[in-house]
Chain A
Amino acid sequence: MTAFWARNRLIVLAYAAMLVLLLVTSLFSPGFLAESNLRSVVVLAAFVGIVAFGQTFVIIGGGIDLSLPWVLNCAAILMTAFAGGQDVALLWLVPLLLAAGAVIGLLNGVGVAVFGVPPIIMTLATNVILQGLILVYTGGAPTPTAPPLIQFLAVGRLGPVPVVALIWAVLASIAWVLLSRAAFGRYLYALGTSRTVAEYSGVPTLRTAVLTYVISGAGAALGGMLLTGYSGQAYLGMGDPYLFTSIAAVAIGGASILGGSGHYVGTIAGALVLTVLGGLLPALRLSSGALLVVYGAVILLTVAVGSESFGGIAAAILRRRRGQDPAPRK
């Protein structure tokens, strides 16, 4: 139990925070815990969770992917443009765009892992290049509406369960298997903790690092296509908010941005926390500016609680209060 607590303290805390937020929100807006409202919270969180899927792997591996917004946006625009509102074209479009997202991820991964380009710069460059290219392609004009099948996947329901939540659940199981049951997961944590040690221990660091960006690219493409179903069509800039939320969800879920720790189980809680917060503030009649302030404060709070020296400082304060000598400082 203690070992479990030590390893998963931050993830448990993230879920606890989510439950507290849910209760607090329901106090201020009584209808919040109604089935229909909870369903819409899960749907909104699912999009954050799906986009943050790849980000989780990249961050555990010690990298970061800033190219998510426009990989997502490109997939969304190309999908609606080529499908023309018809389902049939999805048969070849969906696999093709997932592969295209993976190829962008491959480029990022090769730049980072093979050429030693800092991940921030590499993925930033792909992001602006994709942004420019898709703007040139569309000329700023809107694209047709999303095909009905995609709309069903994004907003439809199977019985009481939203379809997109099922997709999210499938992704979560894949992530759990990859991180907790597969050799890839062990390689990934080793790589994120110390690349040098991992390399000397026989971990295929190059392959593992590149693969995280490939997952991220494909995941962003999937998120983009599903999002068109939610909003009915693709529009320029639709991916921009997801850069911040994907990183925030992973961080709130307890992963260190330096790599080597975290789990997608935590990211799920992070996505839910962000979404519930988004519902709490309108209930308190606060503006969108206040939402950003609260987001920032929550990130500060979670990374502070997660930092090692926070535990040390808290322990020292407790000890002093009990009248004992504080631990000698290093």
Chain B
Amino acid sequence: MNRPASNIGGIAASPLTNNGDAPPAPRRQFDARGYALDRAPFLVACLMLVVIVGLYGSLQSGVFTLDELNLDTTATLTLLLAATGQTIVLLRGGIDLSIGGVISFGTVLAATHFGDDPGSVLLWSAIVLAVGFGVGMLNGLLISALRLQPFLITLATWSILSGASLMVLPTDGGQVPSWWQAIGSASWLGLASPVWMLLALLVFWFWFRSTRLGIALKATGSNERSAFLSGVSLTRMNLVTYGLSGLFAAAAALYLTTQTGAGSPTIGKDYILPSVAAAVIGGVSLFGGRGNLAGTAVGAFILTIIGNLVFVLHVSSYWQPVAQGAILLIAVLASSLAEKAAQGQDR
């Protein structure tokens, strides 16, 4: 029964590497199926965007112009900024409902405190951003220190901030200086400022994802325990991810005031669940660790342009939520089926 040493496990060692050492590692093959399954949700989202834009372009003239790009980006950017923070939190495996409160509170502070002089605008913009970051850090702290569920904690802080917004400004109103509103409609080289902000956001993400923090973020979302064992501080991770989420929500609030010119104590709730929807449509997993901001951007544009499409189809605008819900379902089914297929492959 003695087997020759070079035939361990019944596999004859290849003559080329038969030097008596450990058997050669099998060559790593490019796993095309795994790669495709990993990217499937993002690719499905891109495909949907192409189809929707194609349909829209065939029904309406002038869709494939810079003007249309400027218009759509201007309309999408608030949602996209909110969804950027949400994406960061989702990648960590959490969820942030408090962004609705941060957005309301931000617009209300801006609309009641912005004076005509740039100094006060700068000061209060900084305060709004600091409030957003601070509220986010507080979320992260509560979630870490008391080991509480993000859903309830951020639901509670959402309620508190919504109430605070109503106390500052009971109804829609207030105003921001006209030069502040002009920022939102300025353009340079034929591209409107929101397009430049979008590009800046994508550049930020390209840099962020390969920083230590970005890598630790995805690692923590994929497997909290192994990230912790690899030296990631979960408390610091929660502080930073929820802090960034609040910061981006505050930025969304500031951008929103350039569009509306006023504050609203209730507008934030319109962005809570759509921000999650945009991320999920773009292939960000609610279980953490999977997805990126490019996908979220695609998701946000889908949600906006579907509204344009409903408009040019000359049907009731009430069909818009139906279409958005259907797209959300298609996207999430695609990603959960891909996830199941990927798991089946691993077994």
Whole-angstrom distance between the alpha carbons of A256 and B149 in the complex?
8
Is A300 a contact of B142 with CB atoms below 8 Å?
yes
Which listed residue, B156, B286, B318, touches A299 by the CB 8 Å rule?
B156
Q: Is B63 an interface residue (CB 8 A)?
A: no
Whole-angstrom distance between the alpha carbons of A292 and B269 in the complex?
13
Q: Is B276 an interface residue (CB 8 A)?
A: yes
Whole-angstrom distance between the alpha carbons of A297 and B161 in the complex?
11
B139 CB → nearest A CB, Å: 10
Residue of B nearest to A301 (CB): B156
Which listed residue, B152, B170, B273, touches A303 by the CB 8 Å rule?
B152
Q: Is A258 an interface residue (CB 8 A)?
A: yes
Encoded as 1 (CB less than 8 Å from any B CB) or 0, chain A from 303 to 321 comes to: 1100111100100000000
Is B152 a contact of A121 with CB atoms below 8 Å?
no
Q: Is A257 an interface residue (CB 8 A)?
A: yes
Is B160 a contact of A125 with CB atoms below 8 Å?
no
Q: Is A328 an interface residue (CB 8 A)?
A: no
Q: Is A289 an interface residue (CB 8 A)?
A: yes
Which listed residue, B161, B163, B321, touches A128 by the CB 8 Å rule?
B321
- Inside 8 A of B167's CB, which chain A residues have their CB? 287, 289-290, 293
Encoded as 1 (CB less than 8 Å from any B CB) or 0, chain A from 129 to 142 comes to: 10111011001100
Is A296 a contact of B157 with CB atoms below 8 Å?
yes
Whole-angstrom distance between the alpha carbons of A289 and B104 in the complex?
12
Q: Is A75 an interface residue (CB 8 A)?
A: no
Given contacts A124-B328, A132-B319, A299-B156, contact A115 B163 (CB under 8 A): no
- Inside 8 A of B313's CB, which chain A residues have their CB? none
Is A136 a contact of B333 with CB atoms below 8 Å?
no
- Inside 8 A of A290's CB, which chain B residues have their CB? 163, 167
Q: Is B17 an interface residue (CB 8 A)?
A: no
Q: Is B320 an interface residue (CB 8 A)?
A: yes
Whole-angstrom distance between the alpha carbons of A291 and B159 in the complex?
9
Q: Is A43 an interface residue (CB 8 A)?
A: no
Residue of B nearest to A308 (CB): B147
Is A296 a contact of B156 with CB atoms below 8 Å?
yes
Which listed residue, A124, A251, A256, A313, touches B277 by the CB 8 Å rule?
A124
Whole-angstrom distance between the alpha carbons of A290 and B167 in the complex?
7
Is B153 a contact of A115 with CB atoms below 8 Å?
no
- Inside 8 A of A120's CB, which chain B residues have their CB? 95, 276, 286
Is A128 a contact of B287 with CB atoms below 8 Å?
no
Is A121 a contact of B286 with CB atoms below 8 Å?
yes
Q: Is A295 an interface residue (CB 8 A)?
A: yes
Whole-angstrom distance between the alpha carbons of A95 and B329 in the complex?
28
B140 CB → nearest A CB, Å: 14
Residue of B nearest to A131 (CB): B321
- Inside 8 A of A66's CB, which chain B residues have their CB? 273
A313 CB → nearest B CB, Å: 8
Is B160 a contact of A292 with CB atoms below 8 Å?
yes
A23 CB → nearest B CB, Å: 24
Q: Which of A110-156 contact B (CB under 8 A)?
A: 111, 115-118, 120-122, 124-129, 131-133, 135-136, 139-140
Is B318 a contact of A125 with CB atoms below 8 Å?
no
Encoded as 1 (CB less than 8 Å from any A CB) or 0, chain B from 317 to 333 comes to: 01111111110110011
- Inside 8 A of B276's CB, which chain A residues have their CB? 120-121, 124
Which listed residue, B152, B158, B324, touches A251 by the CB 8 Å rule?
B152
Encoded as 1 (CB less than 8 Å from any A CB) or 0, chain B from 260 to 295 comes to: 000001000000010011001000001100000000
Is A136 a contact of B319 with CB atoms below 8 Å?
yes
Is A257 a contact of B151 with CB atoms below 8 Å?
yes
Q: Is B162 an interface residue (CB 8 A)?
A: yes
Q: Is A82 an interface residue (CB 8 A)?
A: no
- Inside 8 A of A291's CB, which chain B residues have their CB? 163
Whole-angstrom distance between the alpha carbons of A299 and B157 in the complex?
9
Residue of A nearest to B310 (CB): A132
Is A116 a contact of B339 with CB atoms below 8 Å?
yes
Encoded as 1 (CB less than 8 Å from any A CB) or 0, chain B from 148 to 185 comes to: 11011101111111111111001000000000000000
Residue of B nearest to A121 (CB): B332
Q: Is A244 an interface residue (CB 8 A)?
A: yes
Q: Is B340 an interface residue (CB 8 A)?
A: yes
- Inside 8 A of A139's CB, which chain B residues have their CB? 316, 318
Given contacts A296-B158, A310-B146, contact A132 B166 (CB under 8 A): no
Q: Is B186 an interface residue (CB 8 A)?
A: no
Residue of B nearest to A112 (CB): B336
Whole-angstrom distance between the alpha carbons of A244 and B163 in the complex?
14
- Which residue of B145, B156, B167, B286 has the most chain A CB atoms within 10 A of its CB atom? B156
Is B318 a contact of A135 with CB atoms below 8 Å?
yes
Is A299 a contact of B166 with CB atoms below 8 Å?
no
Q: Is B337 an interface residue (CB 8 A)?
A: yes
Given contacts A129-B321, A132-B318, A132-B325, contact A258 B160 (CB under 8 A): no
- Inside 8 A of B164's CB, which chain A residues have their CB? 289, 293
A227 CB → nearest B CB, Å: 21
Q: Is A18 an interface residue (CB 8 A)?
A: no
- Inside 8 A of B333's CB, which chain A residues have their CB? 111, 115, 117
- Which residue of B152, B325, B328 has the most chain A CB atoms within 10 A of its CB atom? B152
Q: Is A288 an interface residue (CB 8 A)?
A: yes
Q: Which of B123-150 contact A (CB under 8 A)?
A: 142, 145-149
Residue of A nearest to B339 (CB): A116
Is B322 a contact of A133 with CB atoms below 8 Å?
yes
- Inside 8 A of A122's CB, which chain B residues have their CB? 329, 332
Residue of A nearest to B328 (CB): A125
Besides A125-B328, A289-B165, A295-B156, 17 other A-B contacts (C-beta < 8 A): A118-B332, A121-B276, A128-B321, A132-B320, A132-B321, A132-B323, A135-B316, A136-B319, A136-B322, A139-B316, A251-B152, A287-B166, A287-B167, A289-B164, A292-B160, A293-B160, A296-B156
- A-side residues, CB < 8 A to B, are 64, 66, 111, 115-118, 120-122, 124-129, 131-133, 135-136, 139-140, 244, 247-248, 251, 256-258, 287-297, 299-300, 303-304, 307-310, 313
Pairs of residues from A and B, 7 with the lowest C-beta to C-beta distance, nearest first: A289-B166, A292-B163, A296-B159, A132-B322, A296-B160, A293-B163, A132-B321
For this complex, 6 residue pairs linking A to B, each with C-beta atoms less than 8 Å apart, are: A115-B333, A121-B332, A128-B322, A244-B155, A292-B163, A296-B157
